[in-house]
A and B are shown apart, each in its own frame.
With several copies, the nearest count.
Chain A
């Protein structure tokens, strides 16, 4: 399960939304990957992308894995521009993923909450569970997903999720699809506005979330309020990605001056571990 450094060939690369690419890489790196884990992609030859760039697995099989990424700067732009046959140097799998056994053991369904390019690790969760990766007894577990984006065309992976029997509700900032507002409002609604009580007769066993920091903070708060276990996949500037530079510190809930390492202790944390 330890990380490998590998030159991977781009098998496919297609635009799935404006500025978003789904990149398929030929590699065995994904074989042992758990949802929530990530890879570091080296972009040595690209000016302005000196450090490797981290991306969650979107889907992982024995001989291929997929990244779903948004072009936001020189590094992501270079990856989005790759063509089949080109090669990328990738290190992975890295970090600690979602504790799916625990999430599922706690009973009930899983609720995935994803904002923007926070969707990939959650898609990996659903894909992994359906494929029996979390144990065949839970392969058919109920999975809900709340997916938010700025506009309808930026909602990611919704069809893919529905195709594997995930119950998806969406929200958009501009109201162009689904709920007009924040994805956390959908969650609030789902867990019951009053907190303990359950708005719609459903109570997820666990909430798994990934997205911008303010979104995760809100998700953590809603879950705590509703007493639902919550795991979050976070982001933080990283250098090495494997625990030696100590750059990716996240303040721990336990003590204000104790730090968790995003790349080693995370990127997935129990929401209660983090000092929000």
Chain B
């Protein structure tokens, strides 16, 4: 609990997942929780989403992996992670002991592998699974096919369905921004059996080092995140919530309570704080604190704010 009497005004739920407050951390920006414990009591958050875990450990992409951009950054980490076994052995015990919701992000190169991973994560301490269907920094498909799950409704549906079949945990499908019709992807995830959607992953981008005449990132392009992309995320959440009944978790450029309110009012049931933690390691805590103050001042609740900005009856034509 965050403290104070009105803390239940912060409560929210993402499908079957009940959260004491709507502030989670975004995958890949909060490690496995433990790294952040020296900055604040991470168990106060609504939940923690882990760095994406893959079946086998991944070394990640060559370096440089980071470039700054106006009001944002590019990354091409390439899902460097300890792998499933390493996660279960070295990372999960700490998370499991925390009194907050633990969401494990997973990524695979085939739908079957998503199912396998989800199955292996039916263990104590894992409260939900987030499917990273939209990482722009890796190659897809066993045969080197370069299609992102979240670029194709049928791939999205298949990946979600495989995870759904293998796990009794709530399944959150994480989508990306670079599609013409986000609702079609959301609907595909819904057909696959997703309990919720998470929007958005980073936006593919590139910075060129004009002195060296090559891309700054060793891999060429990377994923854009931070305040620069916030309007894109808010729009996607708004579109999804207008089109579908599935609960949505909003992420992209949130660094203040005000930013989180934009997402909630657009229709998100919860939010994730990502890049902002790099600028200020207490960012997620600060967002939560600011939300709490706002709700106290307004005498309102998170549940009452969700979707408040969805204009009913007006077409967006």
**Which residue numbers of A lie inside 8 Å of B, CB to CB?**
2-3, 5, 42, 44, 47-48, 50-52, 89, 91, 236-251, 257-259
Query: Shortest Cβ distance from A267 into chain B, in angstroms?
Result: 14
Q: Counting CB contacts under 8 A, is B279 at the interface?
A: yes
B66 and A248 form a contact (CB under 8 A): yes
B167 at the interface (CB under 8 A from A): no
B132 CB-CB contact with A under 8 Å: no
Closest 6 CB pairs of A and B: A247-B66, A244-B31, A240-B278, A2-B38, A239-B278, A249-B63
For A51, the chain B residues whose CB sits under 8 A away are 68, 73, 278-279
The CA-CA distance from A243 to B80 in the complex, in Å, is 12
Q: How far is the CA of A240 from the CA of B80 in the complex (A)?
A: 16
Q: Are A237 and B64 in contact (CB under 8 A)?
A: yes
B226 near A244 (CB under 8 angstroms)? no
Residues A243 and B31 in contact, CB atoms below 8 Å apart: yes
Q: Is B278's CB under 8 angstroms from A249's CB?
A: no
Q: Given A50-B226, A51-B68, A237-B64, does the pair A247, B75 have CB atoms closer than 8 Å?
A: yes
Please, how many angstroms separate the alpha-carbon atoms of A243 and B28 in the complex? 11
Tell me the complex Cα distance, A50–B228, Å.
Answer: 10
Residues of B within 8 A of A42 (CB): 279-280
- Contact check, A237 vs B67: say whether CB atoms are below 8 A apart: yes
**A258, B280: Cβ atoms closer than 8 Å:** no
Nearest B residue to A43 via CB reads B279
Q: Given the known A-B contacts A3-B38, A50-B72, are A247 and B65 also in contact in the complex, defined by CB atoms under 8 Å?
A: yes
Question: Interface range on chain B: under 10, 10 to 19, 20 to 34, or 35 or more?
Answer: 35 or more
Q: Is the interface of B mostly helix, strand, loop or mixed?
A: loop
Does B59 contact A257, Cβ atoms closer than 8 Å? Answer: yes
Contact between B72 and A245 (Cβ–Cβ < 8 Å)? no
- Please name all residues of chain B whose beta carbon is closer than 8 Å to the beta carbon of A242 when the two chains form the complex: 35, 281
Within 8 Å by CB of B39, from A5, A48, A52, A236, lies A5
Task: Decide if B63 touches A250 in the complex (CB within 8 Å).
Answer: yes
Whether the Cβ atoms of A245 and B70 lie closer than 8 Å is no
Q: Is the Cβ of A236 less than 8 Å from the Cβ of B68? A: no
Complex CA gap A251/B128 in Å reads 34
B279 touches A251 (CB 8 A): no
Q: Which residues of A contact B278 (CB under 8 A)?
A: 51-52, 239-241, 244-245
* Chain B neighbourhood of A2, CB < 8 A: 38
Taking the complex as formed, is B13 at the interface, i.e. its CB lies under 8 A from any CB of chain A? no
Interface centre among B67, B80, B281 (most CB of A within 10 A): B281
- In the bound complex, residues from chain A placing their C-beta under 8 Å from that of B38 are 2-3
Q: Do the beta carbons of B59 and A259 come within 8 Å of each other? A: yes
Q: Which residues of B contact A236 (CB under 8 A)?
A: 63-64
Given A47-B70, A51-B68, A244-B279 contact (CB < 8 Å): no
Q: Is the CB of A50 within 8 A of B279?
A: yes
Does B29 count as interface, using CB distance less than 8 angstroms? Answer: yes
25 contacts between A and B (CB under 8 A): A3-B39, A5-B281, A5-B282, A44-B280, A47-B70, A47-B71, A50-B69, A91-B281, A236-B63, A237-B67, A237-B68, A239-B66, A240-B281, A242-B281, A243-B35, A244-B278, A245-B29, A245-B66, A246-B28, A246-B77, A247-B77, A248-B66, A249-B60, A259-B63, A259-B80
CA distance A245 to B65 in the complex (A): 10
Q: Give bound CA distance, A147 to B64, whole Å.
A: 28
B residues near A52, Cβ cutoff 8 Å: 278-279
